[in-house]
Every structure is written in C-alpha cells, then in structure tokens.
Amino acid sequence: MDNKDYFMKFDRPFTIEIDPDAKRQINLDPRGAYGKITMGYDNDWEHFYMSPSVWKIEDYEKQWKLAWKHLETHDTGVFVANVQPNPMATIYSLYKIQDSIFIRPSMLFEESYLEMIGNNPYTPETSFLYIPERKHFFMKFRGKKIPADEWKVKIIS
C-alpha cells in the first residue's frame, strides 16, 4: 500500500503492505500475517509480524491508510505494525521535516507502552494520539535505553 492516493511523492519507493511471500515462522499464530515496509530499492525494507490477537489484519491496513491521510495535514504520523495484549506495540513513527520524512521503528514494551498509552484504547483511529516525540533518541526496554534507528525518505512533490 503506497501513498499514490495522497499528495506526497517520494524520491524512492515508500510503501507499507502485507507481504504474501513472507515465510511463516513456527510458533506464531497462523491467523497472523507478515507486513513489509519499503523505504527504497533492493535491501531498504523491513518485515514484521502482525498479530491478530488485539487488532484484525484489516485493522492494520485501515490504520496504514489513515496514516497516509494524516500526513497530509500533520507533521507526524505512525504506521502500526503489531499490537499484542501483554502490552506491546511495534510502530514506525513518521516525522515530516521540511522536504523529508524520517521513519523511526520502535517497540513499545510493557513500561514504555504503559507510559505512552496507559489503559487508553489503542485503535487505528486513536493511534495518532500516541506518537513519540522525535527528540527521544532511545527506546526503553525493561528499564534499559536502546538507541533508536532512523531512516529518511525525501519528498519530491
């Protein structure tokens, strides 16, 4: 699912979609799916597992469409890749700065999930209320700070 229906175009492929060709790993819920975010050519992509335990697979796709739409009028956005009940969420935060989108993958585990989202409903529609500030260059995991990755895609129109 790319942004072709929305206003921004990029200097390279920038998509998020279900990847039907991804190989299934053992011990994961067979009702789940694998997604893929592409941020360029060749090896500029990342796979992720989408658990059906909290959101349906259709909820993830709905959220991605809402994320493209959200970026039309906001400087931030988020692609939600996985939500699990323990609590945990895998997200790709999007930051629009001048002529670029910066993409930061992160996992919100237990402590960081509860700090950011708490017991509030986390749905495709409310996901935009819980985007980490970009100034945080680390994510928390069990009390430890882990450096955050970040990718950049240039906006051309």
Phi and psi at residue 84, in whole multiples of 5°?
-130, 155
For residues 47 and 34, the answer to whether their CB atoms sit within 8 Å is: yes
Q: Is 71 exposed, middle or buried (0-12, 13-18, 19+ CB in 10 A)?
A: buried
Tokens, residue 39: 């941020």
Give the model's confidence band at 8: pLDDT under 50 very low, under 70 low, under 90 confident, else very high.
confident
What are the tens digits of pLDDT across the range 52-63?
999 999 999 999
Tens-place pLDDT, residues 74-89: 999 999 999 999 999 9
Alpha helices in the chain (DSSP H): 57-71, 110-116
- CATH code that applies to domain 15-154: 3.30.2450.20
pLDDT-derived band of residue 26, with 50, 70 and 90 as boundaries? low
Domain boundaries defined on the chain: 15-154
CA-closest candidate to residue 14, choices 157, 152, 142: 152
Q: How many CA atoms lie within 13 A of 119 on its CB side?
A: 0
Residue 116: band (very low, low, confident or very high) from pLDDT cuts 50, 70, 90: very high
